Amino acid sequence: MRYILVDIPDRENFYPFTLTRSLADCRVGIYTFKERWEQYLKEESGIYTASYLQNLYSDISFTNTQESIYFINITCIPSNDLIQQIAQLKEGEKLVSITGKWVATKTKERALSKILLANHPPIDAEDVSFMNNAIHLLSLQKQFIQRDFEWVKSNNQSGEIDESNNVINKDQIFIEPGAIVLCSNLNATEGPIYIGKEALIMEGVSIRGPFVLGKNAVVKMNTSIYGATTIGPNCIAGGEIKNSIMMGSSNKGHEGYLGDSIIGFWCNLGAGTCNSNIKNTAGDIQMWNESKQLWETIGQKMGMLVGDYTRFAIQSSINTGSYIGVCANIFGNGLLPKHIPNFSWGITKGYRIEEIFEDINNWKKMKGNVISDEEKDILKYLHLLTA
């Protein structure tokens, strides 16, 4: 394996999603960041992440070899020019941005500190861009969807769009084999629409691109989706959704508003659950930063960040700019707190690990899955940190 994607230096900026997985496995647009990098690299890559997460991936075997490997900062946005610059590195050389941020290193070293330091003076990378943090993913989403759509269209042919649909800008709509789309409104004027394999869009749905629906995902009847939005594989979407990301295997199957938000994997939003994405005063929003352990001003519009395995009771009312951790079982009267920690029961800590495993497994069984030993180990590790 010649390429390893590294998320360790910046992974805390992408909490809560990188608490339970590498950033490489997170999804915005049609592909995960690992999948997108591999399209540019034209071969498979490994993952180098925090030690408690590494068992999710088989790539730790690279530590047993002596070959020279390209280590790449996963937060870099890949481009053909960047790939060429990385390929030109010699043993012990590294690329950095004009601000000094690490981009890539070619080395036989395996310790992260030595990979970041390298053996030679740094080489400045030209025109490299980064994903800065989890919130930044929302503003980058349109760019990723457009790029991914063009890649799919250049390598594959779309299926036919059924005549029962009302379609605008047909050339910017791509339907994969096995997908079913009937009696819906599809408007790709402001961005492309991609419908993944075996996905289902039920009757009466209205979608304004840019939009991605992943493999085996479902959009339920009369749903309205607009603004750049990603509904990942095996998700269920319903109600009103605007400028949001559901990374995979999560459910928002009923009425209610989801806006300017990112939902991790294996989450569930109960019927009638809504989030606020702008204050009544239209003023600046304060949001909890988990890695810095402080409140930050983030701008005028933001919904919520929700970590993996978190679930909301019916009719949950979610505050503007909410940070919600992993494995929370959330219920409560009125407007919920803006910061709900990992492993919350209701709105306070107290979700027992045995119950967590049982409940996650119950949800996974609904989609033909089970919780793995590696997932359990990660959750045990995180749960101990909250004790």
DSSP letter at 150 equals: H
What stretch of H or E contains 317? strand 317-318
pLDDT of residue 63: 64
Closest CA to 331 of 322, 323, 340: 340
The span from the CA of 85 to the CA of 75, in Å, is 16
Confidence category of residue 210, pLDDT binned at 50, 70, 90: very high
Tokens 């990603």 locate to 230
pLDDT at 349 over 90: no
Task: Tell how strand 180-181 and strand 123-124 pair up.
Answer: unpaired
pLDDT tens-digit series, residues 116-143: 998 888 988 898 999 999 999 999 999 9
DSSP 8-state secondary structure symbol assigned to residue 76: B
**C-alpha–C-alpha distance, residues 89 and 206, integer Å:** 48
What is the mean pLDDT of the segment spanning 27-37?
97
Q: Does domain 136-386 have CATH number 2.160.10.10?
A: yes
Per-residue pLDDT reduced to its tens digit, 297-314:
999 999 999 999 999 999
Q: What is the pLDDT of residue 121?
A: 87
Return d(Cα 15, Cα 254) in angstroms, integer: 27
| pLDDT per residue as tens digits for the range 242-265 | 999 999 999 999 999 999 999 999
- What whole-number distance in Å separates Cα of residue 145 and Cα of residue 210? 7
Q: Is residue 78 pLDDT above 90, yes or no?
A: yes
Which of the four pLDDT bands, split at 50, 70 and 90, describes residue 386?
A: confident
Q: What are the residue ranges spanned by the domains of the chain?
A: 3-124, 136-386
pLDDT of 60 strictly over 60 = no
Q: Give the span between the Cα atoms of 39 and 57, in whole angstroms.
A: 19
| The pLDDT of residue 118 | 86
Give me the pLDDT at residue 1, please: 65
| Helix/strand/coil percentages in the chain, nearest 5 | 25, 30, 45
Q: Is the peptide bond before 210 cis (omega within 30 degrees of 0)?
A: yes
Could you tell me how far CA 304 lies from the centroid of its own chain? Answer: 13
pLDDT, residue 58, reads: 72
- Specify the range with the lowest mean pLDDT, choosing from 12-26, 53-67, 222-236, 288-302: 53-67
pLDDT band (50, 70, 90) for residue 227: very high
Predicted TM-score (pTM) of this structure: 0.95
User: Quick one: pLDDT band at residue 62, thresholds 50, 70, 90?
Assistant: low
Residue type, position 344, single letter:
S
Q: What is the pLDDT of residue 228?
A: 97
On the question of pLDDT at 61 being above 70, the answer is no
In which element (H, E) is residue 70 found? strand 69-73
Supply the pLDDT for residue 340: 96
The CA distance from 297 to 155, in Å, is 42
pLDDT at 285: 96
CA nearest to 41, candidates 57, 24, 58: 24
- What mean pLDDT do residues 154-180 have? 97
- Give tens-digit pLDDT for 97-110: 999 999 999 999 88
Mean pLDDT (the chain, rounded): 95
